[in-house]
A and B are shown apart, each in its own frame.
Chain A
Amino acid sequence: AIRMTQSPSSFSASTGDRVTITCRASQGISSYLAWYQQKPGKAPKLLIYAASTLQSGVPSRFSGSGSGTDFTLTISCLQSEDFATYYCQQYYSYPRTFGGGTKVEIK
């Protein structure tokens, strides 16, 4: 199975900050990577697919980059509603696997 490793696992930030979350795959997955946002008690929400394509309706302050094994999710200007946990997921092969999550907390 492809292992997805996210870093950091959590961090604190302030509104207006630019934040970057990293996801590394244990083997190459081309651009078959998605990012999800999850708030407490809610279902995950798709933010980005194909590593860098913004899902319809997602604010443009979210962006994704990378291919192969190294990927990043960037929030250009953190808003209050962005405090949540973020997961990467590979869909290059089965079993589909998620990263362990990155919790973005308010500083």
Chain B
Amino acid sequence: EVQLVESGGGLVKPGGSLRLSCAASGFTFSSYSMNWVRQAPGKGLEWVSSISSSSSYIYYADSVKGRFTISRDNAKNSLYLQMNSLRAEDTAVYYCARESVTQSFDYWGQGTLVTVSS
């Protein structure tokens, strides 16, 4: 069974940093591109970042470019999102999502809440 479990969320002050993790199991992690998608309270879905299976290709939304860094450790079956210079507008539930071979997002974690507030 495919499982994605996010962790690392919490309350952080504006300007602070946080590192999210996503632990994957039930599939060959190293064969799939992975994504982070966020959802602000009461709002819609916003794609944040993608990383290819071997980390060769990385993409970011303009809203996080230069502040967030996506990475992965295939030996540990883990995906990460390093978030720096956090702003109030980064407050959201952050989901990791597996990108299927057809490029849609076929499995999602349960999400981890990041709250940026003083």
B61 at the interface (CB under 8 A from A): yes
Contact of B95 among A43, A53, A87, A95 (CB under 8 A): A43
Let me know if A55 and B106 touch, CB within 8 A: yes
B89 at the interface (CB under 8 A from A): no
Q: Which of B37, B62, B95, B107 has the most CB of A within 10 A?
A: B37
A45 at the interface (CB under 8 A from B): yes
A97 at the interface (CB under 8 A from B): yes
Let me know if B105 and A46 touch, CB within 8 A: yes
CB neighbours (8 Å) of A94 from chain B are 50, 59
Contact mask A32-47 → B, CB, 8 Å, 1/0? 1010101000111110
B44 at the interface (CB under 8 A from A): yes
Which range contains the number of B residues in contact with the other chain?
20 to 34
Let me know if A50 and B47 touch, CB within 8 A: no
CB neighbours (8 Å) of A97 from chain B are 47
The chain A residue with its CB closest to the CB of B59 is A94
CB neighbours (8 Å) of B100 from chain A are 46, 49
B45 at the interface (CB under 8 A from A): yes
Q: Which of B37, B45, B106, B107 has the most CB of A within 10 A?
A: B45
The chain B residue with its CB closest to the CB of A6 is B44
Residues of B at the A interface (CB closer than 8 Å) are 35, 37, 44-47, 50, 59-62, 95, 100, 102-111
